[in-house]
Structure 1
Amino acid sequence: MLLRKPRFSHSQLTDLEAGPNPECTEQFVLEGVSMKATLTKTGILLTPLETRRCWPLPANLPSSIPFSEILCVATSHSVPSWRCCRGLWRTQKVTHRLSICTFKRPRLHQCHWVSHSVELESQEEDVVRRWAADINEAVSINSVRPKALLVFLNPFGGSGRAPTVWARDAAPILSKAGVRCKVVVTERPLQAYETVRDLPLLDLESYDGILAVGGDGMFQELLNGVMALRSCGEADRAAAAAQLRLGHIPGGSTDAVAYSLNGTRSAVTAALHVALGDRTPLDVMRVDTADGSHRFSVCYATYGYMGDLLRTSETLRWSKWLGGRRYPLAGAFTLLRGRSYRACVSYVPSTPATSKSVECTSQCQICAEATDARAGDTSLHSSAPSEGEPAWTVVEGEFKSIMAIVTPCRSDMSARGLARTAHLSDGRLKLVLVRRCSVLQYLRLLARIPTLGIDAEHDLPFVTVLDVVAVAVKPIGAESSWNVDGELMPSNHLSARVHRGAVQMFSRGVE
C-alpha cells in the first residue's frame, strides 16, 4: 500500500526554519498522528513522526502556528472510561488536551478565514499546562492587540441582522481573545456620530478602538465622529482620537468597507482581524459643499446616474412592499431616462502615476509607504489647495456620470472592486468622467463593472479615468444630486480631497 503524507494548510514561518530548540520540544498526538512540537520565538513548529497506513488519512494538518494567529490556549482532559480489548475490560488512560484557538484559510478563498481549534493531546498533565502557560505568555506579549473596544450596533440597518451577527460570530471570538467590549445599541440616526464626537478624554484613553456592527452607514457615522474629534480644537482629545483604530463587522446589505478591507463579507474574518490586532492605514476623502457643510468618506462620491438613482429610490421609500426591490427599480428608471448634466470639473492630477495593472493586496508596496495617522493634522480641516501641488486642470462638458472613488469598493456585485486599481492608502482618487452617451452605451459600461471594474483598460471613448488628489465640480444649468456613500449631499457644488492613511483600521488588506 502506498504511503501518503499529510497535507498542511498553514503557511511556514521564516523564523521557524532556524531549527528546533531541544529544550522546548515535546511529543503530542494530533488527530491520531504523533507530532513533534517545538516552541520557537514566533510560533509552534509541528513535525509528523510517523506516516499513516490506515484510511482515511487526516488532511490539512498544520505544519506551523504563528503566535500572531493564536487567539488563546486552553487545557482540558478526557474522562477515563472502560473498554473491551481482546476480551478483557480495561480502563483508558487520562488524556490531557491542549486546545489552540486559531483559524485556517480555505484553499479556494484565502481571505475567508474560518475559526479553527488545533487539539494537541498528551498523557503528561505537567507538559500540557506548561505549554499552555508559555503560549499564552507569548501571545499576551503582542502589544498591538486591543484590550478594550467601544462597539456600536445598528439593529435597523440592512436586513436587521446585525444583532445576530454580533452575538453569533463576533462576540465569541473577541471574548476568547480577552477583549472587553462596551456595546451601544443605536436607536436613531446619527446617535453613533454624536456619541463618538462627544467622548470625554478619559473614555478615549480607555479604548483601543471603535467597532461598527452593521452596514456601511454605521461605519460612516463612526468615521465622521472620529474625524470631528480630531478637529475639535482640544489637543488632548484630538491626539487620543488619532490613536484609535476603527473596525467594521459587516451586518448590512452591501458592506463595501469590510469587503474592501478584508476581501470578504465574513463577520468571523472581520472579528479575527480585530482580535489579532491587525493594522492598516486607510485613505479618507473630505467632501466640502458650497453651503459650508462637509463629511468624510472612504468609498465614493458620485454625481449624475448614481445620484439620480439614489434620489429616485428615496422617493420610493414610502412603499413598504417594495423593500430592497426599490433600488433595481430606481436604477432601471434612471437608466431609461438617460439624462446627462453639464458641469465644470477641476482636478489636481496625482504624481507620479501608478501602473494600471497593480491591484492592492496585503503585501502592497504602494500602501506600505503610507504614514501613520497624525493628530492635529490641519490639512484634514479643509479640501482647499495645498502648497507646491500641480496646477488645477479644468474640463467642461456634458457628463452622464462623475465619480470620485477612494478605495476599491468591493461588493457582491463586483468582488474585485468597482475600481480594481484603487488602493487602501495610496493618497489618490480615481476620477471617472463618463461623457454624454446613449442608453445602450452606458448599459455596456455597467455590464463591464462586475467583471472588469470601471477603471479597466477599455475601448469606450466616452469614459475617462484619471488619478487625482483633489477634485471640484460646479454644475451648469440643470443639476443632478451628489451621492456620497449612499447619502445625498445638501449642495451640488462640491470639492473633495483625499488624505493618505488618515485613519488606522483593524485589517491587514486582502490576502
Structure 2
Amino acid sequence: MNENSPSSGPTSERVIINDKVYKLKDSIEFLKFEPRNGDPPNTTAESLKIKKCEIFFSRIDHLAPTHFDEKKSRSCVCGCRGRRNFISFLNHKKLKKLAEQKPLDKKSKIIPNILTIFLLRRAEKSKWRISYLACEFKDDVVCKNWKEKLDKDLKVFNRPKNLLIFVNPFGGKGKAKLICNHFVRPLLDLANLQYKVIETRRANHARDSMLTKDYGSTVDGILAVGGDGLFSEVMNGLLIRSQKDAGKNVDNRNENFAAFEHRIAAIPAGSTNAFAYTLHGTDDPLTAMLHVLVGDKRKIDLCSIHCGEKFDRFAFTAVSFGFLGDVLKSSEKLRCLGPPRYLVAGLKTAVKHPIYTGTIEYHSPKILQPTGGTTDLVSSTLPVNICHANCEVCKLAAENSTVQITKAENFKSFNEEKSSKIATEEIQNAEISFVHVIGVVTPALCKLSPSGLSPTCHLGDGIMHLAVIKEISPFRNGIYIASIMANQNDHLTKSFVDVHQVTGFSYTPNLSESKTCEDGLGTWNVDGEILPQPENTIHFRMHKQLIPVFARGIEP
C-alpha cells in the first residue's frame, strides 16, 4: 500500500448505494480515486461524500496498474478495467478511436482482495456514463463477502440475463456494427450476460425472424442495434407473433391487442434515431446500453395501422401525410446524397407545394378531465405536461382502464364552431384541404426537432395528438417547418394549425379535389418508412402501453 494512503477508515465512513447504507468499518483499508478539477489528493470516502449511485456490476478481478492507459480508459468502455484506486467518467467521443484500440490482456494479474464496483452517473444532456470504485480489503475473504452482499442486493432488480441482439451491418454506413463491437459486446461481457447476435442480411430479416421463431422462452430482452427501421422490424415482428399466439386477429381494427412481456431496446446507430431520442432525450448509444444493463422498464403506446380491413403495421413515433410524406418519398430517390437528401427533397417538395383534400374522422375519449398540468416528480425545471421519468400522467393511465385526457388551451377543432361539442361527442369528421396531417404517437424527438412534433405528447397515456395544417401558402408552410426545427415549442399554437387529442382517426382521400400532386393518392411517412395511401380508407388506432422498453423516460 502507498505510505501516503489513508489508514483504515473510521466506522463513520459509509457508501450509500441504491438507498442502502454500507458501513466500511475496519474491513476496508483505503478508498481512493484519481483527483478531478481541484479535488485534494488521497480523498477518503467520508470527504468524498459519495451520494446515491446505481451499481450495474461488481467484480473482484481487477487488472494490475501496468495495464492502465489513462487516455484510452476515458474513451472506451474497456477502460473500466483500468488502474486500481481510480474513479473516472468514461466518454466515447469518436467511434474511429474505438476501432483502433486493442483489447486488454485477459491474462493480466488478478488482485483477489480488490473489489471493483461499477457505477452509473449522470452526465450532461441526459447522458449516462460509467464510473467505478476500486476498494482494497485486508483479505480476500472480506472482499468476497462484500461482493456477495452487493450481488444479493442487486438481485431484487429485474435485470436481463439473456439477450437477443439484431444488428444492421449496413446501418449508418457501417456505424451499427462498430457500435455493437465496441459498446454493446464489451458491456455485456463486463456484466457476464448471455447474448446472441444476429446480423440482418436483407429488409425485414429481423421481422421475419421474430415471426418464425419463438424467442420468448429463451431470452428476456431484445436489442435492435441500428436505426428506427430496424427497431420497427423487431417490434412489429414481436407483436404480430404475440397476437397470433394469444389468438388475436390482427386484421380486426377493434381488437384489443395483447401486450408483449419482454423488454426491447433501440441502440441508436442510424441517421435519425427518433425512438431512442424520444425515450432517453439523447441518441447516445452508451446511454441506451446502460439503461439495458440496469434493467429499466417503461411501457409505451403504439398505434396500429389498417389499410381498409387489412392490418399493415404498428407505429411508435408518428405518422404523417402530405408534405412530410412527399419529402420522404422524394428522398428515397436521392439516397446517394446521404443525410443531405432530406434537405434537397424538402426544397423540391416545397416548390411543388402539393395540396390534399380528404375526409378525416377522429375519435375523442368520452371522458375529459382537466387537471391543469402534471405533477413533476423529477425536477421543477421541466415544464408541466412534458412526459418524463416517473411521469404521473402515464402512471395514472396505467391504473385506469378508461382513457382520460386534458384538453390543452391551445388545442383547436377543425371548425371552431363545433369545438363545444368535443366533450360529448365521441366521433367527429370533416372534409378539409390541407398541407399536413400529423398523428403523434409519442413526442417524436430527434436532433432536428429536440422538442418533438408535439412536446406535450406522452409515452404511455393512450392518446395521440392529431395535427392538421390547413391549406396555406408555401411561405407559411416554411415558417411551420422552421419552427419545428428551431425548437421554439410554438408550432402547434399557430393560427393555421388544428390540434386534437384523440384515440384514433381515419383518412379517406378525395381524388377529385386533390391538386398539384404527382401521386393523387399520396404517401404516408410512418416512423420514417414509406406507406402508400390505399384507394380506400386508412385507419389509425392507439393502444395504451402495449410494449415494454428498456427506458425510464427523459430525465432533467
Q: Distance in 1 between matches of 2:46 and 2:387?
A: 32
Q: Distance in 1 between matches of 2:18 and 2:219?
A: 33
Q: Distance in 2 between matches of 1:432 and 1:27?
A: 63
Q: Distance in 2 between matches of 1:60 and 1:396?
A: 68
CA 1:59–1:173: 2 relative to 1, 3 Å: farther
| TM-score of the aligned structures, taking structure 1 as reference length | 0.79
Counterpart position of 1:494: 538
Give SS of 1:395's match. Answer: strand
Q: Distance in 1 between matches of 2:39 and 2:533?
A: 70
Q: Distance in 1 between matches of 2:371 and 2:469?
A: 21
Answer yes or no: is 1:214 the counterpart of 2:226.
Answer: yes
Does the 8 Å contact 2:454/2:492 carry over to 1? no
Q: Distance in 2 between matches of 1:346 and 1:241?
A: 27
Correspondent of 2:168 among 123, 138, 154: 154
Correspondent of 1:312 among 312, 330, 337: 330
Answer yes or no: is 1:437 the counterpart of 2:468.
Answer: no
Q: Distance in 2 between matches of 1:265 and 1:60?
A: 35
Q: Note the residue ranges of structure 2 that are not aligned, 5 or more in a row.
A: 1-14, 67-110, 251-256, 374-383, 402-423, 515-520
Counterpart position of 2:199: 185
Q: How much has 1:323 moved relative to structure 2?
A: 2.9
Give SS of 1:296's match. Answer: strand
Q: How much has 1:274 moved relative to structure 2?
A: 0.8
Give SS of 1:242's match. Answer: coil
Q: How much has 1:157 moved relative to structure 2?
A: 2.4
Q: How much has 1:463 moved relative to structure 2?
A: 0.7
Counterpart position of 2:463: 428
Note the alpha carbon deviations across 1:12-43, whole angstroms, 9 max, x for none. 77845xx776889755322279xxxxxxxxxx
Counterpart position of 2:74: none
Answer yes or no: is 1:463 the counterpart of 2:497.
Answer: yes
Counterpart position of 1:251: 269
Matches within 5 A, 1:295-444: 295-317=313-335, 320=336, 322-350=337-365, 351-352=368-369, 357-371=384-398, 390-444=425-479
Answer yes or no: is 1:231 the counterpart of 2:258.
Answer: no
> Between the two proteins, what is the percent identity of the paired residues?
29
Q: Distance in 2 between matches of 1:148 and 1:258?
A: 21
Give SS of 2:132's match. Answer: strand
Correspondent of 1:63 among 30, 50, 54: 50
Counterpart position of 2:84: none
CA 1:235–1:69: 2 relative to 1, 3 Å: farther
Does the 8 Å contact 2:166/2:198 carry over to 1? yes
Q: Distance in 1 between matches of 2:244 and 2:32?
A: 55
CA 1:454–1:309: 2 relative to 1, 3 Å: farther
Does the 8 Å contact 1:158/1:215 carry over to 2? yes
Does the 8 Å contact 1:216/1:252 carry over to 2? yes
Note the alpha carbon deviations across 1:113-168, whole angstroms, 9 max, x for none. 012222223444433232122212322x2351111111111112233211100111
Residue range with higher mean Cα deviation, 191-200 or 276-285: 191-200
Does the 8 Å contact 2:322/2:356 carry over to 1? yes
Q: How much has 1:473 moved relative to structure 2?
A: 0.9
User: Which amino acid is 1:100 matched to?
Assistant: I
Q: Distance in 2 between matches of 1:163 and 1:232?
A: 32
CA 1:54–1:147: 2 relative to 1, 3 Å: closer
| TM-score of the aligned structures, taking structure 2 as reference length | 0.73
Counterpart position of 1:48: none
CA 1:22–1:155: 2 relative to 1, 3 Å: closer
Q: Distance in 2 between matches of 1:157 and 1:180?
A: 24
Residue range with higher mean Cα deviation, 491-500 or 326-335: 491-500
Q: Distance in 2 between matches of 1:240 and 1:231?
A: 6
Counterpart position of 1:98: 115
Does the 8 Å contact 1:75/1:129 carry over to 2? no
Q: Distance in 1 between matches of 2:283 and 2:244?
A: 33
Q: More strand by proportion, 1 or 2?
A: 1
Q: Distance in 1 between matches of 2:525 and 2:39?
A: 60
Q: Distance in 2 between matches of 1:123 and 1:131?
A: 12
Note the alpha carbon deviations across 1:456-486, whole angstroms, 9 max, x for none. 563x211112111111111112332111112
Give SS of 2:178's match. Answer: helix
Q: How much has 1:98 moved relative to structure 2?
A: 1.9
Give SS of 2:359's match. Answer: strand
Answer yes or no: is 1:485 the counterpart of 2:502.
Answer: no
Correspondent of 1:127 among 139, 142, 148: 142
User: Which amino acid is 1:306 matched to?
Assistant: L
Q: Distance in 2 between matches of 1:22 and 1:168?
A: 35
Q: Note the residue ranges of structure 1 that are not aligned, 5 or more in a row.
A: 1-10, 34-50, 81-93, 375-388
